[in-house]
């Protein structure tokens, strides 16, 4: 359920569309938050008087830059780099970098906007930001990726810092890219500033559990939603879209909790393995050999590869979209509900279209929006910053416990906020309101910023 937008909220929304033409993903993310805020403005009229919503929707700073690099054949390429520093009311800007050919300002702004509220929900001192490039790492050699990352950082370094802006990974940016980026930052600045990037390797200031954190955290959140209905992952059939960082560790945790993942995907197709996805095969193919999931079916003869297939047509009880934005539309959502799905947890950012969200909410299935469900990644990044600041390094067990506690707190705050504002069970309303109010109060306290 979302609330009817009041006239003042509708006016603000129209103004945002006018000022940010063509940025459809950003419009979608803003609308989804504004639709939750009606009752908040009744409770806190000072937010409207002080134009807090308009201020939050306008990034504090947007940086767009040229990234020239040379491929292995000597050909010159020019990509575009972005860093949107959205909001620093709660701490330094924090959010990942995405390298994907579809990247443009509207995608970075939607991700940065969501990040503000997600980071607030973690309860940790981090503001919101996001960045990336339209560079496509697929099919590039390590040397090409390194040259690109070095060129990207040669501009980005002047805008970031452990107390200013702390990037991390996202689609197309994993441990390899973070290593190259950190190396170039260190070289240019002549500073070993560990807290400037998160998702680092264990040899140079990384945190255990960071690699697993988004996937594990998403499963912990869904587990909390299931518990409310006296259910658990035990014996549940699940589907997980994507086959990257978030998908892999979502599968691992689901299997640890007794569920069975029967399908995964990439942008070319779907693998269905009724016996249960063999995680080590996926890790070998994706993390080590950087191959496509199509090859999974050559290794496991009882698995089926569906080229251009739609993973949401595969029956499941729990669906965890972990690939990209708008991957579940209204029809997909209807299919999922019809096939008996009882819970959806978004590992990806904004993977469900507004029509899809309406279908889930009308069917009253447990639906965890990305800004709450996938907050474990950034939360563990903040734990990495804590370890860096104290020159310490925690055990896997301790860090995972911290993550589990953070996810259970986020679930509780979303659940209780939804009840308080008259929308019980609505995690969208709960997450948007809880995140927004925290940031808005901090902004008010700091005067006109
Ligand atoms: P990866 O690059 O590791 O993996 C992305 C996966 O999604 C790949 O399997 C990829 O397939 C698929 N995918 C990407 N874009 C598309 C597309 N346009 N259509 C179909 N499939 C696509 O990224 P992550 O696992 O890190 O990120 C996945 C999602 O999780 C994103 O929405 C990201 O914003 C979100 N997220 C990530 C966090 C993190 O810590 N990494 C934290 C919070 C959210 P292919 O190889 O074919 O492109």
Calpha distance 331→241 (Å, rounded):
16
Q: What is the dihedral angle through the alpha carbons of 111, 112, 116, 119, rounded to the nearest 10 degrees?
A: 70
3-state secondary structure of 368: strand
Tell me the domains of the chain and their CATH numbers: 1-58+425-449 (1.10.285.10), 63-192 (3.40.50.10860), 213-368 (3.40.50.720)
pLDDT for res 88: 98
Q: What phi and psi values does residue 440 have, to the nearest 5 degrees?
A: -60, -45
Specify whether 230 is catalytic: no
Which residues make Cβ contacts (< 8 Å) with residue 43, sequence separation at least 6? none
Mean pLDDT along residues 368-381: 98
* DSSP states of 37-106: -HHHHHH-HHHHHTTHHHHHHS-SEEEEEEEEEE-TTS-EEEEEEEEEEEE-SSSSEEEEEEE-TT--HH
For residue 366, the cross-strand partners are: 343
> Per-residue pLDDT tens for 53-98?
999 999 999 999 999 999 999 999 999 999 999 999 999 999 999 9
C-beta of residue 363 within 8 angstroms of C-beta of residue 330? no
Residue length, the chain? 449
Calpha distance 105→20 (Å, rounded):
10
Alpha-carbon distance values, 94 to 111, 131, 154, 431 (Å): 11, 10, 19, 18
Q: Is the CB of 81 under 6 A from ligand 1?
A: no
3-state secondary structure of 170: strand
In this prediction, residue 199 has a pLDDT band, given cuts at 50, 70 and 90, of very high
pLDDT for res 4: 80
CA–centroid distance, residue 231 to ligand 1 (Å): 28
Does residue 363 surpass a pLDDT of 80?
Answer: yes
Does residue 2 surpass a pLDDT of 80?
Answer: no
> Per-residue pLDDT tens for 122-132?
999 999 999 99
> Per-residue pLDDT tens for 230-252?
999 999 999 999 999 999 999 99
Does residue 345 surpass a pLDDT of 80?
Answer: yes
Give the pairing type, strands 304-307 and 165-168: unpaired
Token representation of residue 347: 């590992």
Hey, how many other C-beta atoms are within 10 angstroms of the C-beta on 384?
28
Does residue 386 surpass a pLDDT of 90?
Answer: yes
pLDDT for res 449: 85
CA–centroid distance, residue 98 to ligand 1 (Å): 9
> Per-residue pLDDT tens for 410-446?
999 999 999 999 999 999 999 999 999 999 999 999 9
C-beta of residue 344 within 8 angstroms of C-beta of residue 360? yes
CA–centroid distance, residue 45 to ligand 1 (Å): 39
pLDDT for res 447: 96
Residue with tokens 């994706």: 286
pLDDT for res 3: 84
Q: Which atom of ligand 1 is nearest to the CA of 378?
A: 42
Mutate to test the pocket of ligand 1, among 242, 312, 328, 376 (most ligand atoms within 8 A of CB): 242
C-beta of residue 239 within 8 angstroms of C-beta of residue 319? yes
pLDDT for res 1: 59
3-state secondary structure of 161: strand
**Catalytic entry in 94, 109, 130, 200:** 130
Q: Is the CB of 58 under 6 A from ligand 1?
A: no
Give the pairing type, strands 237-240 and 269-272: unpaired
Across the chain, mean pLDDT equals 97
3-state secondary structure of 3: coil
pLDDT for res 14: 98
Mutate to test the pocket of ligand 1, among 107, 207, 308, 324 (most ligand atoms within 8 A of CB): 324
| pTM across the whole model | 0.98
Mean pLDDT along residues 188-195: 98
């Amino acid at each position: 359920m979302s609330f009817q937008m009041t006239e003042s909220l509708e006016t603000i929304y129209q103004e945002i569309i006018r000022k940010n033409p063509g940025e459809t993903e950003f419009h979608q993310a803003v609308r989804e938050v504004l639709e939750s805020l009606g009752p908040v403005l009744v409770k806190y009229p000072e937010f409207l008087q002080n134009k807090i919503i308009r201020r939050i929707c306008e990034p504090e700073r947007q940086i767009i830059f040229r990234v020239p690099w040379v491929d292995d054949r000597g050909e010159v390429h020019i990509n575009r780099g972005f860093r949107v520093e959205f909001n620093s009311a709660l701490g330094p800007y924090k959010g990942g970098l995405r390298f994907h050919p579809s990247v443009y300002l509207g995608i970075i702004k939607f991700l940065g906007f969501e990040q503000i509220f997600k980071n607030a929900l973690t309860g940790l001192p981090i503001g919101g930001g996001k960045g990336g490039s339209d560079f496509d790492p697929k099919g590039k050699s390590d040397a090409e990726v390194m040259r690109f990352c070095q060129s990207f950082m040669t501009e980005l370094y002047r805008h970031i810092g452990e107390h200013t802006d702390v990037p991390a990974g996202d689609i197309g940016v994993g441990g390899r890219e973070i290593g190259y980026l950190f190396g170039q930052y260190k070289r240019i600045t002549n500073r070993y500033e560990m807290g400037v990037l998160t998702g680092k390797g264990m040899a140079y200031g990384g945190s255990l559990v960071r690699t697993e954190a988004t996937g594990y955290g998403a499963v912990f959140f869904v587990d909390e939603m299931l518990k409310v209905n006296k259910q658990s992952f035990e014996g549940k059939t699940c589907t997980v879209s994507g086959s990257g960082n978030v998908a892999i560790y979502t599968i691992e945790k689901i299997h640890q909790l007794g569920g069975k993942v029967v399908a995964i995907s990439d942008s070319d197709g779907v693998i269905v393995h009724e016996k249960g996805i063999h995680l080590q095969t996926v890790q070998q193919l994706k993390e080590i050999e950087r191959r496509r999931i199509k090859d999974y079916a050559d290794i496991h003869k009882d698995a089926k590869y569906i080229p251009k297939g739609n993973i949401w047509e595969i029956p499941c009880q729990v669906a965890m979209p972990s690939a990209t934005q708008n991957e579940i539309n209204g029809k997909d959502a209807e299919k999922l509900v019809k096939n008996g799905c009882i819970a959806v947890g978004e590992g990806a950012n904004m993977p469900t279209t507004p029509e899809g969200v309406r279908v889930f909410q009308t069917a009253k299935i447990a639906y965890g929006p990305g800004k709450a469900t996938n907050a474990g990644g950034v939360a563990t990044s903040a734990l990495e910053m804590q370890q860096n600041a104290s020159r310490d390094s925690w055990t896997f067990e301790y860090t995972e416990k911290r993550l589990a506690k953070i996810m259970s707190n986020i679930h509780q705050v979303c659940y209780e906020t939804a009840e308080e504002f008259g929308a019980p069970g609505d995690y969208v309303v709960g997450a948007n309101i809880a995140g927004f109010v925290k940031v808005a109060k901090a902004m008010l306290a700091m005067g006109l910023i």
